[in-house]
Structure 1
């Protein structure tokens, strides 16, 4: 009977320990996935949100620089020549193209991609308008060029800035969403870590119980051997 009891206890302990070990393995797997998701989220926040947000600041700066350069040429008494202002505008255009190329390489949600496409169209149209203003100036129609700059040019410039602002707002919204996702994953990881600690304590108690039961059985056997 005692041997039957011992075998039953060992089987129960084996089943319990096997279940606990399976739980530990599962927790480890889930923790690994949680850490992976956290790393992915933070990487995306940096690569796909923070860096493009900085690029958008530079895009805005280049657009304003173009606007001011052309305004200075058209409305001010300056020694700036047509060739010089054209060169300045081309330099800013190259910088804008490079920044847009960098932004396009990042992960974009559908709304971002749509607004970025619209922004590119606005910038392209504004660049064409600048070329038209310069041609008018080149043919001695600087007043007509100034009127176009202050009229249609001002409206198109504002449209470009509004598109850029919309992109910035989307960047902020998606970034907050990623932060919330990371916080959720972090909470899950903390929960799994606490669970693993609890499982380790249970394993320790089971081992102590087995040692105690083994001592009790050995103690009960001693009178039998003495007889």
Structure 2
């Protein structure tokens, strides 16, 4: 009898160990997936901030510079002179515009965004030359044409930020929902584990009692 009890005890322990091992493996896998999702969330939030919100700020500043530059040139043409203060202001705007373009260039681009950005970047040297030579008869038209081209490119880039930001936000929400489902799965797994262990323990106890019965007393 003791040999049967020992054999059944070993068999019960093996079942419990197998259940524990299976559930713990699932929990370990779930934990690894959670870590991966946290990394994805960090990447998404970083992209939203660094490559979308910051870039939107660059675009706003570049648009402001183009507007201000255009008005300075118009003012100089109307007065038929380019004074030292206006010239210095134009140069300061050109330096700031070049700096913003370089900052923008260091961010992550979509394929469309990269193409439009390069088109805008090609306009910058020509825009930076406007206003220093008032003797140019076509200066007024050149100022208007290049400024409006630059602003049009910036509008497209701004629209891209909006659509990409929305896409990243939806992606982030999807990751958060996956993480929530994973947490629920872990809770359910723990509850199932507790129930299975209880069933195996009670089953073992019931068999032990039957084995311990003495037939001649029945």
TM-score by length of 2: 0.87
Q: Comparing 55-64 with 171-180, which one deviates more in the overlay? A: 171-180
Write the deviation string for residues 171-222 of structure 1: whole angstroms up to 9, x where unpaired: 1121111111111111111111110011111122123234433543554465
Q: How far apart are the structure 2 equivalents of 1:217 and 1:87?
A: 96
Q: How far does residue 83 in structure 1 lie from its aligned partner after superposition? A: 2.3
Tell me, yes or no, if the aligned pair for 1:52 and 1:103 is still in contact at 8 Å.
yes
How do residues 175-186 of structure 1 correspond to structure 2 at under 5 angstroms? 175-186=165-176
Match of 1:88 in 2: 89
TM-superposed CA distance for 1:116, in Å, is 1.2
Which structure has more RCO (C-alpha within 8 Å, separation ≥ 6)? 2
- Helix, strand or coil for the counterpart of 1:134? coil
CA–CA distance in structure 2, aligned partners of residues 207 and 103 of structure 1: 59
Of the candidates 132, 135, 145, which is equivalent to residue 134 of structure 1? 132
Distance 2:144 2:126 in 1: 12
* 1:114 alignment counterpart: 115
Separation in 2, partners of 1:91, 1:103: 18
Which residue of 2 is the match for residue 195 of structure 1?
185
Query: What residue is the counterpart of 1:54 in the other structure?
Result: 57
Aligned residues of 1:112 and 1:167 also touching (Cα < 8 A): yes
Q: Which residue of 1 aligns with 2:39?
A: 36
Listed as ranges, the gaps of 5+ residues in structure 2 are: none
Unaligned stretches of 5+ in structure 1?
Answer: none
Q: CA deviation at 1:104?
A: 1.1
Compare 147-156 and 177-186 and name the one that shifted more: 147-156
Residue of structure 1 in register with 2:146 after alignment? 156
Moved more, 67-76 or 34-43: 67-76
Distance 1:134 1:39 in 2: 47
Aligned length: 214
